[in-house]
Amino acid sequence: MIRFLGKGLLRDAGRSRMPVMVVAIGVALSVFMHAYVHGLMQDSIEMNARMRYGHVKVCTRSFAENAAQMPADLSLLDVRALKQQLTAHHPNLQWSDRIQFAGLMDVPGMMGETRAQGPVIGMAVDFFSTHSVEGERLNVQAALTEGRLPQQAGEMLLSADFSEKLGVQIGDTLMFMGSTQFGGLAYANFVLIGCVDFGVEVLDRGMMLADLSDVRIAMDMEDAATEIVGFFEGGQYNDAAARRMQESFAADFEVVAGDPYAPVLLRLKDQDDMGQLIDISGAMGLLITFIFLLAMSLVLWNAGLLGGIRRYGEFGLRLAMGETKGHVYRSLQVESLLIGLLGSLIGTVLGLLFAWWMQEKGLNLGDSMQNASMMLPTVIRARITPVDFYIGFIPGVFATLIGSLLSGLGIFKRNTAQLFKELET
């Protein structure tokens, strides 16, 4: 009997291949959609983390409270030791010290007079160490519109718009002016060796990038930094882990309560609007996925429904031959379960493959994103998460099954003679 039904299932394309295909397509789209939306959200979050906030950030409590002013006088001290400690406690994160600073960029004329000047926001990262991944992390190479990365002391990058506004060219020497860690006047000459364009307005307006060592000298910050940013291995923010680190931080690092210079650990979510962005991203991802799943479920339900109704004739015949209604109904459900499982399996694999391709290759939106004022990535990538292994699969199976459960109810609702009549037409 089972073999008989199996043969029928395999030979009747309308009963097997078609519904499997419909299920597979629906499931594949859902999986891909979820991975895509998740990737999009995650990429913008990660971009913010890499450029500015880290997955976690350690700075002094006072600096954290006044982060917008980038007050150098509230910097962390003994950074080398602290970084070692952090690495020892949390070896699963990569730790990098950075200095965020603000000041003026001055373009001197022939006679030493000021030819042009503008406020600048600076970031000093480790470009020079051979093992440093900071340049890569900020994706500076890709952002270069001309020139090259800093390779030796006294070199800097400026955002392309800013250097144009200042009327400077590669090779020009500019003077940075700001304040030192101790409140004194800081000034240093930098050679412009490259221009960057991150495609993000907040970064491209007036930004300088230089090596830590140069900025340390200029700002009198030997073994100091405004922050140490930490990044989870695997490159994804993990709020639960960050929260655990935060909770044990005071104990781990013997922080003296009430000390304004004591280090604190900030999660990505703690900083600026990132908490909102992360929460909204999560909600958006859920919403989009939910709407998509709902649509897919309706389609599959309908397909299951039609699949059942299409076969009322066959059911009538089988009932006439002496099969019970329950048996016919159950065999229909087993079939639809098989179809749902197979279709969902194929769909999940296809969806994951497609998502994986989007994850590896990415979709370059390039210039269309040029004017965004939010930090949004220009290359959109899908991102596969464990959820994708079941987010399409489960509704794929259940929607199909529920569709056929409902359509099969017709077997019970109608009396046998009526099913039988449908077979005559």
Partner 1 sequence: MEQSYLIDLKQVVKRFPMGKGSFTALKGLDLQFEAGEFAGLIGPSGSGKTTLLNIIGTLDLPSEGGGTVLGHPIEHLKASEAALLRKERIGFIFQSYNLLQVHTVFENVEFPLLLLGMPSEERRKKVMEALDWVGLADRHRSRPSQLSGGECQRVAIARAMVKQPSLVLADEPTANLDAANSHHVLKTMQQLNEAFQTTFLFATHDEKVISYLKRKIYLMDGQLVKDERV
376 close to 44: Cβ distance less than 8 angstroms: yes
Q: Answer yes or no: are the C-beta atoms of 35 and 385 closer than 8 Å.
A: yes
The one segment of 148-156, 166-174, 294-302, 417-425 that binds partner 1 by CB under 8 A: 417-425
Q: What's the distance, CA 24 to chain centroid? A: 26
Chain positions 354 to 373 lying near partner 1, rule: CB under 8 A, are: none
**Out of 191, 241, 334, 423, the residue judged to bind partner 1 by CB under 8 A:** 423
Given 11, 130, 251, 360, the residue binding partner 1 (CB under 8 A): 11
Find out whether 395 and 380 touch, Cβ atoms under 8 Å: no
| Candidates 1-9, 206-214, 225-233, 356-364; binding stretch for partner 1 (CB under 8 A) | 1-9
- Within 83-102, which residues bind partner 1 (CB under 8 A)? none
* Cβ distance to partner 1 smaller for residue 11 or 131: 11
Interaction of residue 409 with partner 1, rule CB under 8 A: no
The nearer residue to partner 1, 205 or 421, going by C-beta atoms, is 421
C-beta of 354 vs 420, nearer to partner 1:
420
3-state secondary structure of 117: strand
SS3 57: strand
Q: Please report whether residue 8 would count as binding partner 1 according to CB under 8 A.
A: yes
In the complex, minimum distance from the CB of residue 311 to partner 1, in angstroms, rounded to a whole number: 10
Three-state SS string over 328-353 comes to: HHHHHHHHHHHHHHHHHHHHHHHHHH
For 218-260, the DSSP string reads HTT-TT-BSEEEEEETTS---HHHHHHHHHHHHHHTTPPTT-T
Pairwise CA distance, residues 315 & 310, whole Å: 10
Q: Is 413 among the residues that bind partner 1 (CB under 8 A)?
A: no
| By CB under 8 A, residue 317 contacts partner 1 | yes
Classify residue 150 by its DSSP letter: -
In the stretch 287-316, what mask flags binding to partner 1 with x, by CB under 8 A?
--------------------------xx--
Question: Based on CB atoms, which residue is closest to partner 1, 219 or 328?
Answer: 328
Angle between helices 325-360 and 17-48 (to 10 degrees): 40
**Count of residues interacting with partner 1 (CB under 8 A):** 22
List residues binding partner 1 (CB under 8 A). Answer: 1, 4, 7-8, 11-12, 313-314, 317, 319-325, 415-417, 420, 423-424
